[in-house]
A = this chain, B = another copy of it.
Amino acid sequence: METFECIGARRSVRSYEDREVEEEKLGQVLEAGRLAPSANNRQGWKFVVVRDAELRQRLARAAHGQSFVGQAPVVIAACATETGRVMSCGHPAHLVDTSIAIDHMTLAAREQGLGTCWIGAFEQEEVKRILGVPASATVVGLLPVGYPTSWPSASSRKPLGEVVCYERWQ
Report A's interface with B, CB cutoff 8 A: 1-4, 6-8, 10, 12, 27-28, 30-37, 39, 41, 43, 45-52, 55, 64, 79, 87-93, 95-96, 99-100, 102-104, 106-108, 110-111, 118, 120-124, 127, 131-134, 137-141, 155-158, 160, 163-169
In the bound complex, residues from chain B placing their C-beta under 8 Å from that of A100 are 99, 102-103, 118
Q: Complex formed: what's the CA distance from A141 to B95 in Å?
A: 13
What residues of chain B lie closer than 8 Å to A37, measured between beta carbons? Answer: 10, 12, 106, 118, 155
Q: Which of B3, B87, B88, B166 contacts A1 (CB 8 A)?
A: B3
Q: How far is the CB of A20 from chain B (nearest CB, A)?
A: 15
Q: Indicate if the CB atoms of A91 and B95 lie closer than 8 Å.
A: yes
Q: A96 contacts which of B34, B124, B140, B158 (Cβ < 8 Å)?
A: B140
Secondary structure of the A contact surface, majority rule: mixed
Which residues of chain B have C-beta atoms less than 8 A from A111's C-beta? 2-4
**Interchain CA distance A137-B97 in the complex, whole Å:** 20
Number of copies: 2
B88 and A164 contact, CB distance less than 8 A: no
Contact between chains at B6 and A87 (CB < 8 Å): no
Nearest residue, chain B, Cβ from A55: B167
- List chain B residues, Cβ under 8 A from A7: 32, 35-36, 104, 107-108
Closest to A108 in B: B4
Interface hub of A7, A10, A166 (most chain B Cβ within 10 A): A7
**8 more A-B residue pairs beyond the given contacts A3-B110, A4-B28, with a C-beta to C-beta distance below 8 A:** A3-B111, A49-B165, A50-B167, A89-B121, A89-B124, A91-B95, A91-B140, A96-B141
